[in-house]
Each structure stands twice: as C-alpha cells, then as structure tokens.
C-alpha cells in the first residue's frame, strides 16, 4: 500500500532503456545522468548509478514528477495501490522505476530531513547543473528569458543591459518568493525551501541514510543559505569566481592586400559590422581568418558547443533543425550573411546544423574577439527603421533578429501625448500582445459620421495605394468592416505638429484623410533624417498596436491635416480577432478534408499559416491544360469541373466539390497541366506551392504519389486520350441502329466554353499604310542589302557597358515569320541554363526588396502584310549594374524601324550610365540619355545612308534603383505599374500615349510648322504642311526627322516601393496596348501572376492581344514585345539568387 506518513521514505530504482526495456544497465543514458523527483513539497536530485538506489522522502503522499537532465520533457504519475513498477516515458528514453519502502533506523523528528553525512565536495559541473535545473524549474526562467529577448528585440532599448536588469527585477518581484538551497554531495542531493528548518546530518558510519542493502547514493548536508545580492550583469556569459574575464589580446592573422580589400567590402555590407569604430574594425579585420568550404561540408552540428562564428563572402549554406525527431530545413544563408553568432552571444549550444549547399568562402571569427569587440557594439547599434529607408542612403538592413520579431511591412507610428502605464509583473503573452480574458465583454465604440464621411472613409480604405491597409483590412468580413468604420474618428493635426514621435508608446492607428506628412527617423546621436513623405490614404501606427513596441519614426504634418484614428483596443478586438477567427475557420476546413486526415494538428496549423486563398468567377480557368506552374489547389467553396482538350474541343472528365483537391501532379513532378479546371459559379480555392509543400507537408508527398492512380480523375485523364473520337464513335453506333439492348453507349459531356465578349473600337493601323506605301521589291532589296552591312545588324562594341553584371538585348535576323521569337544577344558571366525551350539566368544582386525579382520576356514577329519584308521592328534591353536594373522597350515603325530600335537598345543604357546625373538626378540623366541617343541615331543613319524621315521608334525605360522606380517614355510603348498582392490588387500607374491631338502636343507641333489633321473620327496624324507625308501618329518619338516639333524629351515619373510591396511592371510595345488599356491589363494579369508566375502571365497577355488583333484586323498583327518584372516574388529561388530571367531565343525553322 502507498505510504501516507509525511516522513516515510521510499526508493526508486531506475533502469532506463530506449523503449521501456528492462535490465540493470544504464541503457541509452550517458554516464553520470542526473535524475530528479518532484512532489509538491520535496525535490530530490541524484546521479543514476548502476545498482544504486535513490532515497526520496515523502513519496506516496502526492503525485510524482520525474525529470532527466539529459532529456527535454517530464512525466508525472500517481502511485497506485499494489503497484510497485512504473514506466516513465521521457522524450527518447523510457525509465522503468521500481518503488519500494526503505527501512529507516530511526524516525526523524518533525521538520528534519534524513540525509547522508558529507563525504566530499561536489564537482563544479554537477553543482552548476543541479543549481541551474533547480532554478529553471522553480522560476520558469526559460520562458521568462524568451520573453525578455523578444521584448528587447522589439523595443530596441538604447541600453540593453539596463533594460534586462529592470525586466528581471520585475520578474523577481512577481516570483513565488521561495529560495532554494542546493544540498552538497558527490552523486545526489536534495533541494528544499530555504525557510524550512535545516536538516541535521544522519549519523551513519557508512555514510548512508538507511540500513537496507547499503546501496543508497550519498547525501550531503546543505550549505549556508544563499544571500541574494543586486544582480551585477545579465549578459549571456557570466564572469566570476568560476570564469574570470581575462584581458583581451588582439589576434592578428596575416592577410595580403587583396584579401584585406575583399574582406573590407564584405564587412561594409554586413549588418553586424556597420556600427563599429575604425579602431574596432581594424581589430576585427585582423582577427578574421579566411576559410574555404566545399559543398556538402557540415560546419555546425545542432547541440554542439560554439567557439566561432562566420561571415559569408561567397556561396550558400542551409540550416537544418531537428523538430519532432525529423531534420527540417529552416533557413538559407547567402552572401554577406552571418551565422553561428547566437552561440557566442548567449553562450548556448548550437541551435541548428549548418551545411554548405554550395562551395563557400567564409571569414571565421573567434569567441574572444567577438565577446571583446563585437558584443557591446552589437548591443549599442542604433535601431534600423525597416521600411522607410531613404533611397540611395546608407541605412543598413535590419538585423535578422529584428526582422523575425516584426513584420517587414513599413511602419512609422508614434504615441499619443499621455503614455499609458503598463502593469508591473509577468507578461501575459510572448511577442505580440496577448488578448486578455476580460476582453470578451468589450463593445466596439461608435462615432457618429455623416453618410458622406462614411463613404469617404470606405473609399480611402478600399482604394488606398498603401499596401498595409489592404493587408490589415483585406480579410475582414463586411460586418467587421462596418464596425471598424464605426470605431474610427477624425483627429485634426495642425501644421508642424507631430502626430507620432519616435520612441513614444503608441495607442492609435492612423489613416491620412487630408494633408501631407513628413516621416523622420533618428539613428543614434545623428539628427533626424527625412526618409519618406505620405499623403491621403497612407496608414501608420500598426506595429505599435500589433507588437507593443515604441514608435519607430516621427511623423509631422506639412500643413493643417486630418487623420482617421482607431484606438488600440478597437484595433486588436476588431482587426486582430478577425484574423484569429479566420485562422481557426481555415484550420477547421483543413481538418474536414480527407487528404489531410493523417496530419497532426501542428501540421494543420502550419499548413493554415502558409496557404494562399484565391477567388474565381464563373467559368474562369483555375488551371489550364499545358501550363507550367507548381501549385496544388483545394476547393474551399463552390464547384469546379476538369476538362481535357483535343481536336474536337474540351471534354469534361471530372467534377469537384468542397474539400476536394487537384493539381498535385504538377506540384509533385513539375509537368505541364494534364487538364484544365474551370470554376462552376463562384468558387474559392486554397493553394500551396511546391516549395512550401515540401517544407510543411513532406510526409504527405509519398501519400499523394502512392495514391495518384486511385483517384477517378486521373484514371479519366489517362483514358481520355481517345475521348476526342468517342463522340464520333457514339454517333456512328446510333446511325447504324444495331438494336442491341445490351450495348449502352457512354455519355460524354462536351464542354462549351463561354465566348469572350470583345467589344473593341476599330482603329486605323499606321504601320499597314506605311508598309504598303513603298514598293515591296524596292524595300525588300534595301532590307537584304542592309543585312550585308555588319555595322547595321551586329552589336556595337563602342556602346558596351563594362560594369554591367548582366546585359541583354534583341538582335536582327532576316526572313522571320509570324510569331517567331527574337534573336537574343546576352553578355554576362552568369551561367545560362535551359528550362524547356527557354534560356534561364539566375543571379544575386544588391537590393532592398525582401524577396526575389523575376523577369520574363517575350518578343515576337508580327504579320503586317504578305509583302512586308521587314524583320521584327520591336526590341528591348535589360541591364543590371550594382543595385540598379534598367529595362527598356523600343517599338520601331516605318521602313527602317528595325534598324532604329536595334541601335537604340544599345545606346540608351550606355548614355544613361555615362551621364553625370546617373544615380543622382534620374530625371536629368534620362532626359540626357534620350537626347544623346537621338543625336547618335541621326549621325549613324546619315553615315550609312538610312532614311529616317518616316522611320523611328517609341521608347520606354524603367529603372529600379534599390526600391525606387523611375519611368521615362516617349510615344506609345507603355509601362504599366501594378500591385499583384491579393488584398491590394490594382493598377498603380500606366503611361499615356503622346498623341498629336493633345493640346500641349498640338501647340508645339504647329508652332514648329507641322500640320496636325484628323483623318478619321478620333484618329489624328502629323504631316508636313500642305503635304500628305509622312502621316505620323505619335508626337514624341526617336527618328521621324521629316516633321518639325517631334519631341525626344521623355515624360518622367517616380514611385517609391516599400521593401515588402508586391508590385510588378509590364514594359511593352504597342502590340500589347493597341486594344488593351492599362486598367484592363492589370485586371487580366495580377491574379494570373499570383497563380502562374511571370512566364505563363507574359504568354497569356500576348495571346490575349493577338486575339484582339485578329478580331479587329483579321490577318494583320503588329510585332509584340512584353517585359514582365515581378518584385518580391514568393517563388522559390535557387541558392542565394534573388534575380531570375527567362526568355525564348530565336530558333531557325528546320
């Protein structure tokens, strides 16, 4: 029977094995493993020794908790009457404990504890281990330290040490008030409350505390009570009697001048070394040692001690962490990253394993140098303001710790004048502010608004160009949205007043209603610097509400302004709770899907966090046969149908309802889609990409591969190869009238796709009349003659840009036919890869954007007339130089438009980069480049006797410098700038053609002596006065020297992207824009881009344009060029690359 007497002593004999096996050995436990037994009043620590029993007083009165110092986790059990053997599972081992009553010589008096006489001093290692475990268990230190570090990263205090001391003092005040003293002993000990009477040593000759067997572990009396003192340091590595801090002697490792130059460049780009003094930088540079590592080498093993850290100069490494017994990839590190610093910073074991996935060049730094030089400087580094970094400035990227603790979205907010008092004590949540239990009774406030004010607020939120608003409010339902509008109120801000102030606490979220605001960021002791300017529709203040952190910028009104305000409580209860409710709803849906039945709840949660959602209209294609993408879809609501196309049209092969999935073949194998799937009515789908699937749902892959052929839809797909003949066969059987009752024909449903409604105004196409104006044979002879002149059709070495990391433009090939791809010239050291019929390039470039940039290009020959001998007159260029990427399209027209555009795609980027204004004043640099390109064109064509009186080109250039987009254009080659974010899908800007009927353009042309005439309703042309020549359609263009007043001065626009903005651009010739307006193009491409990527999207918009050309002009179709650039793409990149480009090269007909 369990003993209930308070001073009764029992023994626990343990024999641990991996899975509950017996035996007397220590099994899988390391030598000297320490076990602890806990009841509500007693705690007992001891080393496990073979054949030794452990005395634990008081067992039988309360449940027993068992811990092992070598394992994570614990197990509690209650003693059952008549049972003396218990299995205790602990992580990877199982202990088998035998509990038996100990025979004691004498009954201790109340308040005394029977312990063994001291026989020696405990080892320092054991003493430290026991003390650490006792303190961690009783004071919940691990959780407290986790919260402390997360709070500190978010708050970014000026003095981190002082901040930690105050936080720890608050924790101590809120603790249980119990001190614990460690019992000294070689192999075992007992921990008791300090206020309990001290135990007297048991008088036993053999040093044991019982007479039975004589095999107890030795117990030692406690030392004097520990006197608490003011904490001297909270740095990760303590220094004291056991660990004396020695004077640091700088280490000098010899390096040649080339190594020093390389290393200095690396350190300038690395966040960790941006705030050091020159003296410290000299010490660090001397101490770093170069290390070259081959692919596949493991540099760090999870759980090992850490003595060095590394900075990456070249290469890529992958971090793996063992989670639930499975090693998972958690992060990739690339150029200028650091790794291994946490073990040095916090004096802890390695948190993950790190393996070189590519050959690497690393710089190794030792612990002594790090602690002496880097540690304090890293603590004192001024906070980065992630999001509003001044373009072209020297602000560094935020440290990894900071970026993991707060969202990458830009946020500049400040607090109201009266800062709220925070309660002292333990925090109720980690990182983000926890929702309190009492908030369930909260009622949203209602501030009266006129119908006009309500409509204005709704319009601001729904049409804002600030992506944060759409991220915050894009997922709330209509009912919650109405409550949010009810809870917002107008606040007037006077000119010069700070609506928020850096460093203050914040309790309000703001949306600008009227006026402009300047955003200033102060770094360290430097004066505040203006980093951004915002106007109506811009939002700020959300980070302080989401993460309870200080305002990270000061925002000042330029003039008398008004803002819509939302207080912290309303924000968290309406916005945050809405997101939490949607997350729970998503988890419930996933739990209801058969495919996810075998997933754990943790995997369901992980999946719900990464799933993307998309809505589809009736008959809209969710996936299309033949497309290449990497997504699997789960139908969340509505219905869908799968169809396979053939010569006879599309045959329906499968229907889908809520909870069913499709697209896993493409996800697993990367093969083109085997069928198209269309929405039937309104439908909503979740989808997951291949990279996310492998990271989150690796175990599900084998399930899908094994069960693919078991699903009817795939069987249908396999058997449907002959379905296009099935309808004919059934028709023949019916006509034969066999009369056989047994032979019942199959029913095949042929899908009738809804016809696209093309309502397009017919236009007069200028190129058609120009091509037919010249005798075909004469022009053909001239074109053929030009191809014999290398100066006209081969690249100009004089206009190469030596600093360009990547340079590409289109070439000229004679005899091209309709839809043939452009010949490509590319100069780069980047290795070209082949992906199907596309050339593919990937590289790592300097950028302030958080994710990758993807570029896809399509440039194809049109069909102007049967006798038109001109090659593809469109052309393009892409150049990457440092942190700047240049994109351009030139749309040639007239008999020699192909020569004009070929020259321009070489001279424009060259003159732009030679400009003294390059990287300083982009408007002036672009104007200068356009003017010089025209001068060069006239000189070049005069030299080679090329008549450009009626030949020329429209030209458009887009420059991305860090996170700023610069646009310059003349003519009708437009640039579309849009957002592809699902909650913020919209057109941001689209250029407008320079047409002669525009008042400003017409006035300039007529003042110069040219004549502007309307030849058809809405169609205006430019002529020599009193002549029918040349009939130009654009008032600004390169070339076109016949008419005075044709301008080459580009129209300029500038846009600032935030580091996380999901924007995209289409730079395209008139072949795209002739029948598709910018808003329509954005509606057609933004969703396509999210789901299919750049290559499929650029193919789609080209196909849509050709359909419209055929609808309006029959066989006539202009040349088509489209560059599609997607910023902050979520698609997986190879290694550390953050730029990729795909293009199809001209393939001569066989």
Tens of pLDDT along 984-1017?
888 999 999 999 999 999 999 999 999 999 998 8
Residue 1036 to residue 1043: CA distance in whole angstroms: 11
Q: Which residue did the predictor score with more confidence, 763 or 928? A: 928
pLDDT digits (tens, 9 = 90+) for 635-662: 999 999 999 887 778 888 889 999 998 8
Q: Which residues pair with 181 in a beta bridge?
A: 192
Q: Would you give the end-to-end CA distance of the chain in angstroms?
A: 94
528, 544, 550, 540: which is closest to 499 by C-alpha?
540
* Helix, strand or coil, per DSSP, at residue 540: strand
Whole-angstrom Cα distance, residue 1129 to residue 980? 10
What gap in Å lies between CA 798 and CA 297, rounded to an integer?
45
Strand, helix or coil at 1024? strand
Nearest to 147 by CA among 171, 123, 131: 171
Cα of 1099 vs its chain's centroid, Å = 26
Q: Which of 891, 886, 635, 869 is nearest to 771 (CA)?
A: 869
**pLDDT tens string 44-63:** 667 777 667 777 766 665 67
The partner residues of 329 in beta bridges, in order of sequence, read: 320
CA 788/CA 502 separation, integer angstroms: 67
Say if residue 289's pLDDT is above 90. Answer: yes
C-alpha of 237 from chain center: 34
Reference 566, options 413, 451, 427; nearest CA is 413
For the chain, counts of helices (H) and of strands (E): 30, 52
Considering only residues 984 and 835, tell me which one the structure prediction assigns the higher pLDDT.
Answer: 835
Contacts (Cβ under 8 Å, ≥6 apart) of 682: 615, 616, 617, 618, 637, 638
Question: By C-alpha distance, which of 299, 354, 324 is closest to 698?
Answer: 324
- DSSP classification of residue 64: E
The stretch 393-404 carries a mean pLDDT of 33
User: Do 185 and 220 touch, CB atoms closer than 8 A?
Assistant: yes
The two beta strands, 833-835 and 838-843, are antiparallel
Q: Hey, CA dihedral for 541, 542, 545, 550, is it positive or negative?
A: negative
d(CA 409, CA 957) in angstroms, rounded, equals 28
Report the range out of 10-24, 172-186, 291-305, 962-976 with the highest average pLDDT.
Answer: 962-976
Confidence of residue 557 (pLDDT cuts 50, 70, 90): very high
SS3 assignment, position 650: strand
What's the helix, strand, coil split of the chain in %, to 5?
30, 25, 45
User: Model confidence at 12, in pLDDT bands (50, 70, 90)?
Assistant: very low
Percent of the chain at pLDDT > 70 equals 69
Q: Is the pLDDT of residue 235 over 50?
A: no
* Average pLDDT estimate for 619-634: 88
Please compute the mean of the pLDDT values over residues 505-527 and round it to a whole number: 89
Task: Decide the pairing of beta strands 649-656 and 631-646.
Answer: antiparallel
Task: Return the top range by mean pLDDT from 136-150, 521-535, 813-827.
Answer: 813-827
Highest mean pLDDT range out of 408-417, 513-522, 608-617, 726-735? 513-522
pLDDT digits (tens, 9 = 90+) for 1025-1071: 989 999 999 999 999 999 999 999 999 999 988 888 899 999 999 99
φ, ψ for residue 640, nearest 5 deg: -150, 165
Residues 6 or more apart whose Cβ sits within 8 Å of residue 373: 248, 276, 280, 283, 284, 287
CA distance 538 to 540: 7
Is the confidence at residue 422, as pLDDT, over 60?
no
Instruction: Please name every residue paired with 192 in a beta bridge, in sequence order, or none if there are none.
Output: 181
Model confidence at 141, pLDDT cuts 50, 70, 90, reads: low
**Residue 955, SS3 per DSSP:** strand
With beta carbons less than 8 A apart as the criterion, state whether 145 and 152 touch: no
Average pLDDT over residues 664-687: 86
The pLDDT score that the predictor gives to residue 210 is 36
User: Does the pLDDT of residue 400 top 60, yes or no?
Assistant: no
Alpha-helix residue ranges (DSSP H) falling in 708-786: 712-719, 723-736, 766-773, 776-786
State whether residue 854 is helix, strand or coil: strand
Q: Could you report the per-residue pLDDT of 164-223, keeping only the tens digit for each? A: 777 666 655 444 332 322 223 333 323 333 333 333 344 433 433 333 333 333 333 444
Q: How sure is the predictor about 276, in pLDDT bands with cuts at 50, 70 and 90?
A: confident
What are 942's two structure tokens? 């005069």
Residue 65 has pLDDT above 80, yes or no: no
Question: What digits encode the pLDDT tens for the residues 315-370?
Answer: 999 988 887 677 888 788 888 888 888 777 666 778 889 999 999 999 999 888 88
The reported pTM is 0.58
Task: Report pLDDT for 856.
Answer: 97
Distance, CA of 450 to CA of 607 (rounded, Å): 43
Specify the range with the lowest mean pLDDT, choosing from 216-225, 375-384, 867-876, 996-1005.
216-225
Buried b (16+ CB within 10 A) or exposed e, 141-176: eeebbebbbbbbbbbbbeebeebbbebbebbeeeee
- Name the residue with higher pLDDT: 462 or 324: 462
**Dist CA 203 CA 207 (whole Å):** 8
In the chain, % of residues over pLDDT 90: 36
Q: Residue 728 has what pLDDT?
A: 45
> For residue 74, what pLDDT is reported?
65
Work out the angle between the directed axes of helices 577-592 and 601-610 (0-180°, nearest 10). 120
Contacting residues for 408 by C-beta, under 8 A, at least 6 apart = 386, 387, 850, 1059, 1060
Task: Flag whether pLDDT at 857 surpasses 90.
Answer: yes
Three-state secondary structure call for residue 231: coil
Pairing of strands 852-860, 1139-1143: parallel
Predicted pLDDT at 695: 72
Token pair belonging to 1072: 């795209």
**pLDDT at residue 554 greater than cutoff 80:** yes
Single out the residue of 782, 777, 781, 774 nearest to residue 944, CA to CA.
782
Give the per-residue pLDDT at 680.
Answer: 93
Say how far apart CA 934 and CA 431 lie, in whole Å.
Answer: 58
* 178-to-21, 148, 173, 250 alpha-carbon distances in Å: 39, 22, 11, 45
How buried is 748 (Cβ within 10 angstroms: 0-12 exposed, 13-18 middle, 19+ buried)? middle
Tokens of 83: 């049972």
- Which of 1139, 1099, 1147, 1126 has the alpha carbon at shortest distance from 879? 1139
User: Hey, which of 39-48, 288-297, 925-934 has the most confident mean pLDDT?
Assistant: 925-934
d(CA 1030, CA 951): 9
Residue 103 pLDDT:
55
Give me the pLDDT at residue 1103, please: 93
Q: Shortest CA distance to 410 belongs to which of 392, 390, 430, 427?
A: 390
* Cα torsion 109, 114, 117, 121: sign: negative
Q: How many CB atoms lie within 10 A of CB 466?
A: 24
Take residue 383 and report the two structure tokens written for it.
Answer: 């906070």
Q: Minimum mean pLDDT among 3-7, 489-493, 544-548, 628-632: which range?
A: 3-7
Q: Which residues pair with 539 in a beta bridge?
A: 511
pLDDT of residue 1064: 97
* Lowest-pLDDT choice from 101-115, 282-296, 826-840: 101-115
- What confidence tier does 760 reach under pLDDT thresholds 50, 70, 90? low
Please, what is the average pLDDT of the chain?
76
Read out DSSP for 1068-1084?
Answer: E-HHHHTS--HHHHHHH
DSSP-derived pairing of the beta strands 649-656 and 1030-1032: unpaired
Q: Which is nearest to 510 in space by CA: 596, 426, 414, 444?
A: 414
pLDDT, mean of residues 764-779 = 46
């Amino acid at each position: 029977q369990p003993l209930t007497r308070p001073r009764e002593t029992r023994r626990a004999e343990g024999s641990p094995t991996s899975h509950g096996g017996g035996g007397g050995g220590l099994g899988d436990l390391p030598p000297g493993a320490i076990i602890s037994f806990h009841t509500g009043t007693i705690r007992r620590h001891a080393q496990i020794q073979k054949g030794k029993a452990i005395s634990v007083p008081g067992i039988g009165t309360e449940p027993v908790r068992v811990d092992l110092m070598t394992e994570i986790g614990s197990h509690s059990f209650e003693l059952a009457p008549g049972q003396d053997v218990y299995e205790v599972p602990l992580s990877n081992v199982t202990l088998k404990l035998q509990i038996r009553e100990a025979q004691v010589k004498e009954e201790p008096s109340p308040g005394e504890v029977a312990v063994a006489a001291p026989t020696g001093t405990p080892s320092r290692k054991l003493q430290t281990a026991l003390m650490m475990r006792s303190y961690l268990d009783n004071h919940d230190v691990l959780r407290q330290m986790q919260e402390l570090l997360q709070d500190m990263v978010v708050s970014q205090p000026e003095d981190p040490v002082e901040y930690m001391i105050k936080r720890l003092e608050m924790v101590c005040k809120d603790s249980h008030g119990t001190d614990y003293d460690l019992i000294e002993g070689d192999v075992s000990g007992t921990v008791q409350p300090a206020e309990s009477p001290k135990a007297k040593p048991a008088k036993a000759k053999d040093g044991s505390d019982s007479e039975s067997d004589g095999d107890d572990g030795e117990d030692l009396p406690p030392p004097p009570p520990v006197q608490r003192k003011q904490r001297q340091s909270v740095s990760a590595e303590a220094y004291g009697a056991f660990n004396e801090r020695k004077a640091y002697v700088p280490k000098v490792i010899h390096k040649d001048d080339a190594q020093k130059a390389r290393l200095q460049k690396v350190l300038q780009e690395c966040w960790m070394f941006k705030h050091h003094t020159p003296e410290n930088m000299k010490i660090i540079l001397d101490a770093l040692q170069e290390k070259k590592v081959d692919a596949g080498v493991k540099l760090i093993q999870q759980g090992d001690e850490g003595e060095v850290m590394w900075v990456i100069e070249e290469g890529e490494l992958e971090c793996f962490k063992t989670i639930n017994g499975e090693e998972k990839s958690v992060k990739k590190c690339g150029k200028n990253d650091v790794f291994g610093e946490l073990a040095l910073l916090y004096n802890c074991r390695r948190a993950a394993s790190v393996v070189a996935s590519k050959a690497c060049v690393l710089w190794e730094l030792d612990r002594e140098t790090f602690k002496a030089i880097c540690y304090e400087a890293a603590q004192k580094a001024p906070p980065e303001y992630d999001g509003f970094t001044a373009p072209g400035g020297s602000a560094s990227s935020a440290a990894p710790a900071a970026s993991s603790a707060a969202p990458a979205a830009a946020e500049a907010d400040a607090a109201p004048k009266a800062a709220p008092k925070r309660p002292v004590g333990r925090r109720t949540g980690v990182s983000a502010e926890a929702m309190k239990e009492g908030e369930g009774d909260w009622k949203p406030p209602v501030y009266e608004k006129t119908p006009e004010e309500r409509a204005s607020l709704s319009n601001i939120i729904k049409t804002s160009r600030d992506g944060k608003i759409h991220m915050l409010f894009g997922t709330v339902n209509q009912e919650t949205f109405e409550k949010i509008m009810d809870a917002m109120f107008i606040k007037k801000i006077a000119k010069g007043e700070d609506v928020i102030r850096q460093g203050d606490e914040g309790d309000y979220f703001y949306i600008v209603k009227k006026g402009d605001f300047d955003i200033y960021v102060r770094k360290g002791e430097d004066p505040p610097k203006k980093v951004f300017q915002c106007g109506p529709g811009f939002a700020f203040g959300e980070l302080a509400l989401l993460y309870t952190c200080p305002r990270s910028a000061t925002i000042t009104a330029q003039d008398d302004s008004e803002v819509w305000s939302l207080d912290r409580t309303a924000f968290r209860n309406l916005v945050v709770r809405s997101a939490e409710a949607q997350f729970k709803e998503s988890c419930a849906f996933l739990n209801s899907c058969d495919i996810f039945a075998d997933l754990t709840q943790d995997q369901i949660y992980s999946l719900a966090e990464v799933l993307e959602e998309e809505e589809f209209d009736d008959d809209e294609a969710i996936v299309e046969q033949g497309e290449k993408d990497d997504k699997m879809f789960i139908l969340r609501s509505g219905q869908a149908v799968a169809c396979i196309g053939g010569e006879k049209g599309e045959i329906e092969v499968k229907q889908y309802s809520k909870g069913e999935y499709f697209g896993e073949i493409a996800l697993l194998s990367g093969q083109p889609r085997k069928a198209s799937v269309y929405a039937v009515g309104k439908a909503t789908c979740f989808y997951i990409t291949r990279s996310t699937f492998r990271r989150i749902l690796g175990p599900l892959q084998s399930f899908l591969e094994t069960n693919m052929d078991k699903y009817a839809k795939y069987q249908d797909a396999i058997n449907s190869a002959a379905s296009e003949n099935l309808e004919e066969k059934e028709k023949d059987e019916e006509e034969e009238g066999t009369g056989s009752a047994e032979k019942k024909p199959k029913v095949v449903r042929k899908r009738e796709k809804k016809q696209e409604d093309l309502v397009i105004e017919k236009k007069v196409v200028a190129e058609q009349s120009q091509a037919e104006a010249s005798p075909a044979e004469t022009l053909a002879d001239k074109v053929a003659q030009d191809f014999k002149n290398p100066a006209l059709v081969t690249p100009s070495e004089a206009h190469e840009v030596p600093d360009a990391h990547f340079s590409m433009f289109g070439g000229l090939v004679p005899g091209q036919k309709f839809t043939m791809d452009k010949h490509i010239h590319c100069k780069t050291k980047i290795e070209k890869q082949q992906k199907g019929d596309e050339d593919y390039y990937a590289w790592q470039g300097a950028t302030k954007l958080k994710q990758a940039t993807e570029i896809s290009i399509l440039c194809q020959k049109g069909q102007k007339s049967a006798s038109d001998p001109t090659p593809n007159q469109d052309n393009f260029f892409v150049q990457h130089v440092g942190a700047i990427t240049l994109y351009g399209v030139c749309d040639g027209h007239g008999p020699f438009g192909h020569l004009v555009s070929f020259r321009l795609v070489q001279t424009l980027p060259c003159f732009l980069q030679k400009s003294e204004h390059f990287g300083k004043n982009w408007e002036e640099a672009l104007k200068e480049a356009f003017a010089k390109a025209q001068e060069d064109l006239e000189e070049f064509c005069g030299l080679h006797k090329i008549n450009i009186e009626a030949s020329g080109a429209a030209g458009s250039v887009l420059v991305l410098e860090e996170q700023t987009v610069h646009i310059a254009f003349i003519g009708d080659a437009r640039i579309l700038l849009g957002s592809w974010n699902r909650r913020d899908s919209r057109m941001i800007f689209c250029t407008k053609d320079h047409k002669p009927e525009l008042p400003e353009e017409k006035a300039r042309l007529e003042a110069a002596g040219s004549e502007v005439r309307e030849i058809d309703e809405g169609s205006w042309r430019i002529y020599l006065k009193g002549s029918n020549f040349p009939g130009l359609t654009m008032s600004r263009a390169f070339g076109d020297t016949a008419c005075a007043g044709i301008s080459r001065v580009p129209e300029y626009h500038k846009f600032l992207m935030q580091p996380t903005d999901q924007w995209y651009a289409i730079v395209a010739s008139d072949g795209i824009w002739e029948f598709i307006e910018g808003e329509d193009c954005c509606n057609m491409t933004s969703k396509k881009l999210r789901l299919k990527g750049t290559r499929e999207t650029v193919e789609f918009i080209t196909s849509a344009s050709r359909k419209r050309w055929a609808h309006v002009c029959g066989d006539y179709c202009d040349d088509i060029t489209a560059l599609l650039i997607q910023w902050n793409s979520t698609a997986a990149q190879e290694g550390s690359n953050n730029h990729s480009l795909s293009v199809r090269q001209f393939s001569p007909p066989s």
